[in-house]
Structure 1
């Protein structure tokens, strides 16, 4: 296993490229945008900066009066920018066409991402770097590895766990074979002599396997790791360090990277993990509102999870479900960018579909299950920040994506090719800017930025369609099966066996 933290340092060329993209994007904005949109865009930037500054004051200075904003009803959060936009249009007597309104709304969302998420993620990174806390009394930790048909993977996962730098007497590693039908148990059992505990049970789902493991440990903390993931040697220590330096923590999310970024489809996902997952976790970590503690790598206070009732089988995304339960209980969830795990992502479009349809179905199930956070202001910052974020990411942005796609088709049929090209160039440049800044913050492979245009046209629409189908499945169907992406190594082994059998027959 390679050293997961051996990343290249930033070069002057990379920084100059980021600056060039920034200047180019601003220039294109000024050149292409209609004057009303340009004026409103400037106002939106100023408003975003104001909101962002207030947020930082509440975090850095901890002014008590600012925390009263946490109880502002969710409707006000949504209506405030809309009302201010209408006031601005009325005062300056601006006339906007329907097309310009579509552009304006899209720009609103883009600017909210660029001028709020990126600076917040950068600030989280800098703050984390300054919080080097020496820990002398390390707590007891149990690492749980639920495994179902993980032959060819669970062994490598265990080997990475055996290399973890943590006091041996305080670290308990437990693999739970959830009724596998392949050689997962036998592969894991090879490591029992190294002190690994191997448990075996009938198949009942990942949530059941995790609960089964928790019931058989008394460790203070639980670290959950997927059997197809490998972790950095310092991952557990970094999770504990983040926990100890955080306010009222209930869980810590690790930093997930793509292990097999070696093909077109997996490299697109590598970029997605950076800009769509890790960046948002960094930003939300400032408020202790990380949305999901990933199954690939996450740490929980065991007593707190037991009080909640453990993992629930109500949804097919048990990690998201448990995360919301912890947040509803008044605890905070943070992100540790130095606790790194690598995971295998699907390498075919069919397997990617199978993975994402489960994710999206589970997300919708979880939102419906915890619908009270949208209505009850007693949930404070969870109601004011997390609820709007969920609506934005799961409803408004995908819905707007369909509207813009329809608008693009209309422009094609109406002959507005030049305007269409201009809009595509504009949003592509904005996305290039965002991706470049995100990659630099993550200190990752800058060549991934070439896939940024596909996150505007192509890949985004693919995910939006899956989200729409997943939402309809939850609403219209009583039940659906667990969809699982085929493991790459297992597929390769199967193919080799088939070839060998054919050769034997011949």
Structure 2
């Protein structure tokens, strides 16, 4: 079948909502750009398009816009020759570019002599020119205009003070980020971070100001809670939005990977017969020169091990008695020989360039211990999965990018996360003390004074729960496990030796797991009370401001990630609907922890898309 026919049929499938919409969009781009498709994608396309033995005739690739300006493709040195010695520059050789010409690093040094370092800096700046996205800039400005305008013209002096404090904290953290991000183990007086103190003290400060302004006893609680929620929103937005834009810029100018250390990919699996073949095939077809794939069957009772055995010879297949995901990972690490350990969930298909992209993160700083991948939902079929997809995008592209700037990402996900083996060994094996081993292990690395980064270009497509029942089962484990980790590492909330883990990351997690659900729940009740008491105009103003800012932040996250803007239509549910479900599950997890109910491993059923 020729390429145009395949594109036509696939476009019609997208229009008719046939199959997985997100996967269809991805495959359409792959085919349009004449890129190879995986065996699993080929089988999927045959099913969707109604054909057998699909063969796509190669089309003519569109001319890369870089070629129009410069026929030397600096992103792939393997294609060019050194200007000085006229010998080819291989991909694994160090190279420098000056005035659109490539040189071996040693040839460049011989040519330009003692001024090499200064000139190399200029060359790097020339290579790293990034095309600015005006829409990102407009959205960022719009967010701050809405915040400042609403505070000045609508909410009055109390919110102005709150926003001023938020701005001050932003400047404080940004200045701090210009120094060394890793812990220098300097002793200090134990105390909560400035952010945590500000967060906990805010309602009392607001209450005092409201009382001073003369509001009645019945009006005050409503305004206190709503303004507290707005204060948290102001602070988070003022810090995370500019940091997200900065993180995006840093990632765009990051040079290509300089070396290819050997990586060991570990796939822990338990009863994953519906998805494991796709995961292994995707890893085998991922482009990286030095990799080993280690499959660890954790005592599966279905055909998982038998399916994995079909790939023997291409991967290492290990089997052990059931002991949990943490023990399976530890077992795989013992058999690994790579410098970098990459953990991939059994239901995850990673991008073809993801391994190369995730390795880049370790070249930023010698103290980088782990790099988190960009997790995307591949089965965007209904309301619950699309809300999860949007939740992942906003969380990764806004909040996690901010933590990336501070070198303090708190969760290197099990779906796709890379670790430097030496640091992982020093921090200790994955523990069974919690039911969220990836979160616990990341905090252990941060407490060891190391850096954790993120890579938005290292993509991984995972299967999200597609029913409310399965969603609740998954989040029950996540949220209960998160509270376990927070309790286990609560000492980091007051110990300044832990750097940005103590200053920012852990306080924000405390905010998200404990304060936010309480504030969200009480805000809803207080809004209803406010309307009944006649303060409906104030409630409407606060709700409108919060919703508009949330929509703008979501639009910015989608733009940064290059995702389908139609998902923006679901942003409202992350304020009203989906958010209340999440808050209720968080509150339930807190109550279970307080009542010492035993935490159990719960997970969603596999679909096998």
How far is 1:347 from its partner?
0.7
Match of 1:140 in 2: 262
How far is 1:224 from its partner?
0.2
Distance 1:175 1:231, change over 3 A: same
What CA distance in whole angstroms lies between the structure 1 residues aligned with 2:187 and 2:161? 22
Structure 2: runs of 5+ lacking an equivalent: 1-22, 34-130
Give the alignment of 1:45-124 within 5 angstroms: 45-60=163-178, 73-74=191-192, 76-80=194-198, 82=201, 86=205, 94-95=213-214, 97-124=220-247
What CA distance in whole angstroms lies between the structure 2 residues aligned with 1:292 and 1:63? 17
Match of 2:120 in 1: none
How far is 1:416 from its partner?
5.3
What CA distance in whole angstroms lies between the structure 1 residues aligned with 2:267 and 2:600? 23
Distance 1:123 1:70, change over 3 A: farther
Q: Is the 8 A contact 1:71 1:384 kept in 2?
A: no
Q: Deviations over 1:36-89 (max 9, x none)?
A: x3333334334333332343333347699x999997831544335748994998
Give the alignment of 1:335-374 within 5 angstroms: 335-374=454-493
Among 176, 187, 192, the residue aligned to 2:307:
187
Distance 1:447 1:26, change over 3 A: farther
Distance 1:155 1:186, change over 3 A: same
Match of 2:559 in 1: 440
Q: Is the 8 A contact 1:259 1:343 kept in 2?
A: yes
Give 1 or 2 for the bigger CA radius of gyration: 2
Q: Is the 8 A contact 1:295 1:319 kept in 2?
A: yes
Does 1 or 2 have the higher relative contact order (CA < 8 Å, sep 6+)?
1
Among 276, 279, 297, the residue aligned to 1:154:
276
What CA distance in whole angstroms lies between the structure 1 residues aligned with 2:339 and 2:316? 17
Out of 98-107 and 316-325, give the one that drifted further: 98-107
Match of 1:493 in 2: none
Among 372, 387, 391, the residue aligned to 2:510:
391
What CA distance in whole angstroms lies between the structure 2 residues aligned with 1:157 and 1:467? 31
TM-score under structure 2 length normalisation: 0.72
How far is 1:30 from its partner?
5.7
Q: Is the 8 A contact 2:416 2:460 kept in 1?
A: yes
Give the alignment of 1:161-176 within 5 angstroms: 161-167=283-289, 170-176=290-296
Out of 293-302 and 3-12, give the one that drifted further: 3-12
Distance 1:3 1:301, change over 3 A: farther
How many residues in Structure 1 have an aligned counterpart in Structure 2?
A: 481
2:426 is the alignment partner of 1:307:
yes
Match of 1:502 in 2: none
Match of 2:90 in 1: none
TM-score under structure 1 length normalisation: 0.85
Q: Is the 8 A contact 2:193 2:502 kept in 1?
A: no
What CA distance in whole angstroms lies between the structure 2 residues aligned with 1:413 and 1:125? 45
Distance 1:108 1:166, change over 3 A: same
Distance 1:62 1:298, change over 3 A: closer
How far is 1:156 from its partner?
0.7
What CA distance in whole angstroms lies between the structure 1 residues aligned with 2:181 and 2:356? 32
Helix, strand or coil at the partner of 1:383: helix
How far is 1:259 from its partner?
0.7
Q: Which structure: greater helix fraction?
A: 1
Distance 1:321 1:12, change over 3 A: closer
What CA distance in whole angstroms lies between the structure 1 residues aligned with 2:145 and 2:449? 43
How far is 1:94 from its partner?
4.3
Q: Is the 8 A contact 1:251 1:298 kept in 2?
A: yes
Q: Is the 8 A contact 1:71 1:381 kept in 2?
A: no
Helix, strand or coil at the partner of 2:156: helix
Q: Is the 8 A contact 2:195 2:503 kept in 1?
A: yes
Match of 2:437 in 1: 318
Q: Deviations over 1:354-398 (max 9, x none)?
A: 000000110011111112212333323322222321221111111
Helix, strand or coil at the partner of 2:273: coil
How far is 1:100 from its partner?
2.4
What CA distance in whole angstroms lies between the structure 2 residues aligned with 1:145 and 1:153? 12
What CA distance in whole angstroms lies between the structure 1 residues aligned with 2:209 and 2:596? 46
Q: Is the 8 A contact 2:551 2:572 kept in 1?
A: yes
2:327 is the alignment partner of 1:219:
no
Q: Is the 8 A contact 1:22 1:433 kept in 2?
A: no
Q: Is the 8 A contact 1:144 1:224 kept in 2?
A: yes
What CA distance in whole angstroms lies between the structure 2 residues aligned with 1:279 and 1:421? 26
Helix, strand or coil at the partner of 2:594: helix
Distance 1:67 1:434, change over 3 A: farther
